[in-house]
Structure 1
Amino acid sequence: MTAVLFDFSGTLFRVESTESWLRGVLATAAIRLDETELTAAARALEAAGALPGGSAPERIPDELADTWLIRDRSAALHRAAYTGLSRQVPLPDPALHDALYDRHMTPDAWAPYPDAVEVLRTLRERGVPVGVVSNIGWDLRPVFRAHGLDPYIDVYVLSYEHGIQKPDPRLFATACEALGADPRRTLMVGDDRRADGGAGALGCGVHFVDHLPVTDRPDGLRPVLDLVG
């Protein structure tokens, strides 16, 4: 393999916990909940799957079913899907649902996996081109810049910018073309066997990592270095 594509959420970065997410927004809005109320609201939001990059929804409301399937094709669809899930949970102020969505797009909401910088730096030192291919509804480049990973990324291919979402092989093909890489010599690294596995239809190699908290996956990316020349 002579080029590598990485997924974003659950692969290079992990989003904060649902409780941290809610606490951050409540603090900014100067709204206080007692601990019992806050814990209950966080659990309900987690069950609803309202945090992008967090737990999957336990149930998709009928009115969101169609939007959910294509949520990563545009910024508007992504926001509608996740704020729609959030609104299944009563909160003290209706404006908090949009505030929660806005917070998840900030660099403070994300942490890189412990070995992400090391692996990306090593690939750069070896002259291996690297792309990020993500199903997402917003620009994640500021997250990479804030955490010091942007210098190691050659191209970003984001679903909402192309109106195509993984596992559609066209998204991976766009990344390979931008890198000048042969798909048959390109490795896709991700945590979603269906979405990221779509790269296999293009002839890419595929390597999966576990979508775990950053404290529970200190070296999940290091095997990539053994797979790339």
Structure 2
Amino acid sequence: MTAVLFDFSGTLFRIESTEAWLRAALDDAGLELAAPALAETAGALERAGALPGGAPPSRVPEELAEAWETRDESSALHRAAYTGLSRQVSLPDAGLHDALYERHMSPGAWSPYPDAAEVLAALRGRGVAVGVVSNIGWDLRPVFREHGLDRFVDTYVLSYEHGIRKPDPRLFGVACAALGVEPGRTLMVGDDRRADGGAKALGCGVHFVEHLPVAERPDGLRPVLDLVR
């Protein structure tokens, strides 16, 4: 393998918990909820699927079905889908729905998996090209910069910047072209068997990791180093 492509959420990074997400937005707005109300509201937001990178919605309202299906194809659709889900939940201030969306894009809302830096640095040391291919509606580059991982990434291919999303093989093709590598010598690493598995149609190898909390997956990325020997 001469290149490795990584998914973002659930693969290299994990979003904060729904309760921490809500608490941070409340703090920024100078608002408070008592502990029972905080837990209840966070639970409602989680069931609604309002946190990008968090749990999927238990039900997508009919009026949001189209935006949800195409949410990763543009920044406007992504915001509309997730703030629409958030608005299914009553919050102490209407402005919190947009504040929550803004919060999830901040570097502080994301934590790298414990072995992410080690694996990316090892790949760089071996001369293996690295790309990030993500279904997303916003620019994740600041997250990598803030956590010191940007120096290991050679290219970012983000669905909203191309109007196509995984599993469409064209998105993986964009990444391979940007890195100047052959798909047959490229490994895609991700946590979504359908979306990330789309790289197989291009001829890439595929390796899956479990989408778990950071503390529960200390070394899930290390097998990648054995696959590119």
Normalized against structure 1, the TM-score is what? 0.99
Give 1:2 shift: 1.5
Deviations 1:14-61 (A, max 9, x none): 000000000000011111111111110000000000000000110000
Alpha-carbon RMSD? 0.4
Partner of 1:78: 78
Partner of 1:141: 141
For residue 156 of structure 1, give the secondary structure of its aligned residue in structure 2.
Answer: strand
Give 1:221 shift: 0.1
Give 1:13 shift: 0.1
Q: Amino acid of the residue matched to residue 37 of structure 2?
A: E
Give 1:123 shift: 0.1
Which runs of 4 or more aligned residues in structure 1 lie more than 3 Å from their structure 2 counterparts after TM superposition?
none
Q: Distance in 2 between matches of 1:31 and 1:41?
A: 14
Unmatched 5+ residue regions in structure 2?
none
Partner of 2:213: 213
Partner of 1:32: 32
Q: Distance in 2 between matches of 1:179 and 1:2?
A: 10
Q: Distance in 1 between matches of 2:155 and 2:32?
A: 42
Question: What is the aligned-residue identity percentage?
Answer: 75
Partner of 1:48: 48
Q: Distance in 2 between matches of 1:32 and 1:75?
A: 30
Unmatched 5+ residue regions in structure 1?
none
For residue 123 of structure 2, give the secondary structure of its aligned residue in structure 1.
Answer: helix
Deviations 1:119-153 (A, max 9, x none): 00000000000000000000000000000000000
Q: Amino acid of the residue matched to residue 3 of structure 2?
A: A
Map 1:1-229; keep pairs closer than 5 Å: 1-229=1-229
Normalized against structure 2, the TM-score is what? 0.99
Deviations 1:178-202 (A, max 9, x none): 0001001100000000000000000
